[in-house]
Structure 1
Amino acid sequence: MATIREVAKAAGVSPATVSRVLNYDQTLSVNEATRQKIFETAEAMHYHKSRKTRKGHQKCLAICLWCDQEQEIKDLYYYSIRSSAEAEAQKQGFQSQVVYAGDPLPDSATLSGIIMIGYQQYSAARLTEVKKTELPLVFVDTDTLKLGYCSVVADFGQAMQEALEVLWQQGKERIALLDGDLGSDFDKNNLVDFRFRDYKDSLEKRGQFDSDLVYVGNFTPQSGYEAIKKAISAGPFPEALIVANDAMAIGALKAFKEAGIKVPEDVSLISFNDTTAAEFANPALTSVHVETQQMGRASVKVLKDQLDDEGAGIYRITFPTKLVYRESCPKE
């Protein structure tokens, strides 16, 4: 019996497209010729859904992170996802092995599947290595549905729009973004981070996007401090700042304090992830709450579904976000 991936290869489309066509997904935009070709290919290759559990698969999961242990602790967002995935794996009867940046990938023969936290942050070599295992993969924090892999994500697009609207309602027109990038050769007009994409799209619609108001760190407190300190020295700082994570926002607060800039009196600040650091910062950070624990747990459940049901298909789970108001941008 053929698999979805084999049907996809023969039909010249992605596994995700095959899965959605065979499951009669009416939201999928695909022409009738392609749809017919998929059905004919699946029939010719004797593909059919199966509810039978895969036999003999190992009971061990690899949970991969793009960062090392030190950076994970500095940004509790990833720690929360990873630790929750580990706990759920144990609950579901799996062993798990955490793979940090620089760690070798375990022998694929010992694994049931792989959970990847992030996507763009990995090197091309690591992604190729993981995909070559041909094990079931689930990506967390990045939408990989079009690439043919299940994913678990948060609705950051809605979160960015809400943050911008809050600031606009407060009369803020010059809104800066402190975003993150792991490399030093980034393009401030085309950062890979999805928060930048949503920020840029929204401001361009209002004719307000200005790359000079985009500052870049590497997701750590020190990088946030250095980026904002440099921005302050360049001239008058904007009325508001959105920061890609709480860790960089902590660094930004330090830079503002040293410069005598008061938050929120002089600058309103909204960050992302709502980690413990956000609540105990001074001032406490208004931050976008992300269901990191649920995302970690869901990643294991999705992977188990892929293991237990060959007809499960490729799908995405999206968790809502919520803006938690605190001192750095109080609700009016």
Structure 2
Amino acid sequence: MATIREVAKAAGVSPATVSRVLNYDQTLSVNEATRQKIFKTAEAMHYHKSRKTRKSKQKRLAICLWCDQDQEIKDLYYYSIRTSAQAEAKKQGLESQVIYPADPLPDPAALSGIIMIGYQQYSPDRLNEVKKSGLPLVFVDTDTLKLGYCSVVADFGQAMQEALEVFWGQGRERIALLDGDLDSNFDKNNLVDFRFRDYKKSLAARGQYDPDLVYVGNFTPQSGYEAIKEALKSGSFPKALIAANDAMAIGALKAFKEAGIKVPEDVSLISFNDTTAAEFANPALTSVHVETQQMGRASVKVMKDLLDDDEAGTYKVTFPTKLVYRESCPKA
């Protein structure tokens, strides 16, 4: 009896595509010719669904990050996901190896699967390398379901909408965004960060999107400080600011303090991720809490499912978010 991987090879598509077609996944974007080819190939090869589990010969995971160790410590969001994934891997009897950008990817033969924290932040070469490995892949912090890969994400779309509605409820119509991009040749109207896309979509729907209110750093405190310091030179800063992460928000606080701008009296500030730094900033940051530890653990559980069940489909796990009110934007 043929396996999904054998059917995929014969049909010239990925195993994930075969699995989703044979499980009648309506969210999969695939043309009818390809769909029929998969069904005919599976029938010709006498493929039948089976719930038998398989055990991977290898029990070692690679956990990849797009940032180096220095930046990981400055933005504890990724640190929390990574360490939680490692702890869960150990609990599940799996070894794990952390791979930073400067590290070469281990020989695929020595691994059973790869967990990627992030997606768009990686170079095309790194993404191609992991995709060509042929190993099960799980992406954390980016929805890769339509690309044919399992993912673990937080509901950032709802979080951005909630942050905007808080400011609208305060009568603040001009709302700025402090976002990040790792490419120095970024397009400010089309940043890759998903928080920007949700921000732009919501404001554009109200006829309020203004690219001049988007300030860009690279997710570090220093870049947040420099972006806001430059923005303040205009002399007309909005009374509401959303920061893509706590690290840049802390840099923004420093720039505001130097300029004699009070938070939240002059500018209300909401950030994302609710790391430890948010609670101990001065003033303490109102921030979107993300279940980073649960996301890290879930990524390993999803991977374990892929390793143990040859018929496991492609799916997404989404965790809710919560706005934690503190001094930078008190609850009305």
- How far apart are 1:129 and its partner, in Å? 1.2
Aligned residue number for residue 265 of structure 1: 265
- How far apart are 1:46 and its partner, in Å? 2.9
Aligned residue number for residue 66 of structure 2: 66
Task: Give the SS at the match of 2:231.
Answer: helix
CA distance in 2, matches of 1:125, 1:26: 31
CA distance in 1, matches of 2:12, 2:212: 43
- Superposition pairs of residues 172-321 of structure 1, within 5 angstroms: 172-321=172-321
- How far apart are 1:22 and its partner, in Å? 2.1
1:53 to 2:40 alignment: no
Pick closer, same or farther for the CA change 1:4–1:200 going to 2, 3 Å: farther
Amino acid aligned to 1:158: Q
Task: Give the SS at the match of 1:160.
Answer: helix
- How far apart are 1:106 and its partner, in Å? 1.3
- How far apart are 1:25 and its partner, in Å? 3.7
CA distance in 1, matches of 2:318, 2:15: 20
Aligned residue number for residue 121 of structure 1: 121
Aligned residue number for residue 94 of structure 2: 94
Q: Identity percentage over the alignment? A: 86
Aligned residue number for residue 103 of structure 2: 103
Is the CA contact (8 Å cut-off) linking 2:155 and 2:321 kept in structure 1?
yes
Residues 274-308 of structure 1 show CA distances to partners (whole Å, capped at 9, x for unaligned) of 00001111111110010100000000000110010
Aligned residue number for residue 155 of structure 1: 155
Task: Give the SS at the match of 2:109.
Answer: helix
- How far apart are 1:29 and its partner, in Å? 6.9
CA distance in 1, matches of 2:282, 2:260: 14
- How far apart are 1:130 and its partner, in Å? 1.1
Is the CA contact (8 Å cut-off) linking 2:28 and 2:146 kept in structure 1?
no
CA distance in 2, matches of 1:21, 1:329: 47
Amino acid aligned to 2:288: V
Q: Which runs of 5+ in 1 are unaligned?
A: none
Task: Give the SS at the match of 1:178.
Answer: strand
Pick closer, same or farther for the CA change 1:202–1:57 going to 2, 3 Å: same
CA distance in 1, matches of 2:210, 2:106: 45
Amino acid aligned to 1:249: A
Pick closer, same or farther for the CA change 1:168–1:15 going to 2, 3 Å: farther
CA distance in 2, matches of 1:49, 1:291: 35
Residues 211-252 of structure 1 show CA distances to partners (whole Å, capped at 9, x for unaligned) of 100000000000000000000012210110000000000000
Residues 108-129 of structure 1 show CA distances to partners (whole Å, capped at 9, x for unaligned) of 1111111000011111111111
Pick closer, same or farther for the CA change 1:167–1:322 going to 2, 3 Å: same
CA distance in 1, matches of 2:132, 2:44: 26
Task: Give the SS at the match of 1:62.
Answer: strand
Task: Give the SS at the match of 2:151.
Answer: strand
- How far apart are 1:57 and its partner, in Å? 1.9
CA distance in 2, matches of 1:247, 1:57: 41
Is the CA contact (8 Å cut-off) linking 1:19 and 1:313 kept in structure 2?
yes
CA distance in 2, matches of 1:109, 1:10: 23
CA distance in 2, matches of 1:43, 1:182: 47
Aligned residues between the structures: 332
Pick closer, same or farther for the CA change 1:15–1:267 going to 2, 3 Å: farther
Residues 52-91 of structure 1 show CA distances to partners (whole Å, capped at 9, x for unaligned) of 3334521111100011100000000000000000000000
Task: Give the SS at the match of 2:179.
Answer: strand
Aligned residue number for residue 143 of structure 1: 143
Amino acid aligned to 1:253: L
- How far apart are 1:202 and its partner, in Å? 0.5
